[in-house]
Amino acid sequence: MIPPTRPAFCPARKFTAAAALPFVALLAASCGNSFNDTGDAETRAFTHSQGVTEIPVEPQRIVTTTDQNALLPLLELGITPVGSAGIELDGGQIRFRRTDGYDTTSVEPVGPYGAPNLEKIAALNPDVIVGYEYDSDMYDDLSAIAPTVLIQVFDRPLDDALLDFADLAGETDRAEEMQADFRARVDDFLDKLGDRKDTLSISLISQYEPGQFNRVDIGQATGTVMQALDLLRPAPQQGPGDFEDYSIETLGQHDADVVLVFDYSDDEGQRADNPLYNSPVFAELAATKAGQAYVIDGATTVGAAWGKMIAFLDELERILLAEDLRTDVVIEN
């Protein structure tokens, strides 16, 4: 698994599960058929990041290989998978990130995202396995168990990815309603922001390793919202970017009228003081000195769901529409 100190929204580490293949083959033989066999169920072609796969028209037993990037968007659509990978805590327990408010008691943990347990997945007898593009290294192993689709979540607007999840689950109408609500909310926020949009700059960062930090606007809810709002950004955060680690000594280059520090300690079930926000270097930012630096709960605002985008818009509205907000804290080039 990725250590909890790494970006909670970043791709999982590469994993090869070939060692579990003998078990999968044995279990398939004992069942008398192949896990790729969809039996008498009606199927259809589904296009995803790995190509085209035949999946059931109405999947009944879905297993997801990641929590916030597959389990969460299905839960939001009213679909409860039979199993899912999640984040592995220090005691070995599996926690499903970003799923507060949803009933996951019937979802069987199948190990950590990035390295799920193939035996546990196979034992659940899924009719389709759903992951995201960073599961590509184990795609063949997963496909030996059941038809597998990997939906591209990053490097495109999240609302496009969410429509793919809805297509897979047969909930396109519901997702399109959520998309319309999101776009209406963006328009309403921009109307309220008014002329401030032309002079207000904002920075989104988080710390995952001591002495380093990252952008928090690449893909998923935060990136899609920021792309839709098109607000001024510090120079290193302009453009699509990637999951680059920045040295803490360069933090000043990420200064802005408003600086948001995303905290993910709730992913492990315990909110802690944010080390970046409380660091001496952060205290020297113009935004900090102006009282316009804030800690944002990443567990609430980051993840592959319409609700996460709305939650982030709620935070932006609370902060950026304040009457006493200054838009001259830094001078943008």
Q: Reduce the DSSP state of residue 79 to 3 states and report it.
A: coil
| Packing angle, helices 220-229 and 306-320, rounded to 10 | 50
Any domain includes 9: no
Residue 316 CB neighbour total at 10 angstroms: 22
Q: How far apart are CA 66 and CA 150, in angstroms?
A: 11
What is the domain-level CATH number for residue 293?
A: 3.40.50.1980
pLDDT class for 271, splitting at 50, 70, 90? low
Any domain includes 4: no
Rg value, the chain, Cα: 21
Q: How far apart are CA 206 and CA 295, in angstroms?
A: 9
Tally of domains within the chain? 2
Any domain includes 194: yes
Q: How far apart are CA 209 and CA 190, in angstroms?
A: 35
Tell whether 51 and 126 lie within a shared domain.
yes
Tell whether 202 and 160 lie within a shared domain.
no
Candidates 89, 70, 66, 92; CA nearest to 79 is 70
- Domain final residue, candidates 149, 170, 191: 170
Any domain includes 333: no
Tell whether 120 and 194 lie within a shared domain.
no
Name residues whose C-beta falls within 8 Å of residue 17's C-beta, 6 or more positions apart in sequence: 115, 116, 118, 138, 141
- Domain final residue, candidates 130, 152, 170: 170
Q: Which amino acid is at 320?
A: L
Q: What is the pLDDT of residue 40?
A: 64
Q: How far apart are CA 292 and CA 252, in angstroms?
A: 15
113: domain range? 18-170
- Note the pLDDT tens digit of each residue in 222-262: 999 999 999 999 999 988 777 788 999 999 999 999 999 99
Strand 83-88, strand 108-112: pairing: parallel
Q: What percent of the chain has pLDDT over 70?
A: 85
Tell whether 116 and 252 lie within a shared domain.
no
Alpha helices in the chain (DSSP H): 21-31, 72-76, 118-123, 139-143, 158-169, 172-193, 220-229, 280-283, 286-289, 298-301, 306-320
Tell whether 28 and 137 lie within a shared domain.
yes
CA angle 76, 305, 148 (to 5 degrees): 75
- Note the pLDDT tens digit of each residue in 8-47: 444 443 334 444 445 554 454 444 334 445 556 799 999 9
- Note the pLDDT tens digit of each residue in 55-83: 999 999 999 999 999 999 999 999 999 99
Tell whether 236 and 307 lie within a shared domain.
yes
Q: Left (φ > 0), alpha (ψ -120 to 50) or beta: where does 170 sit?
A: left
Q: What is the pLDDT of residue 243?
A: 73
Q: Left (φ > 0), alpha (ψ -120 to 50) or beta: where does 56 sit?
A: beta
- Domain final residue, candidates 122, 139, 170: 170
Any domain includes 46: yes
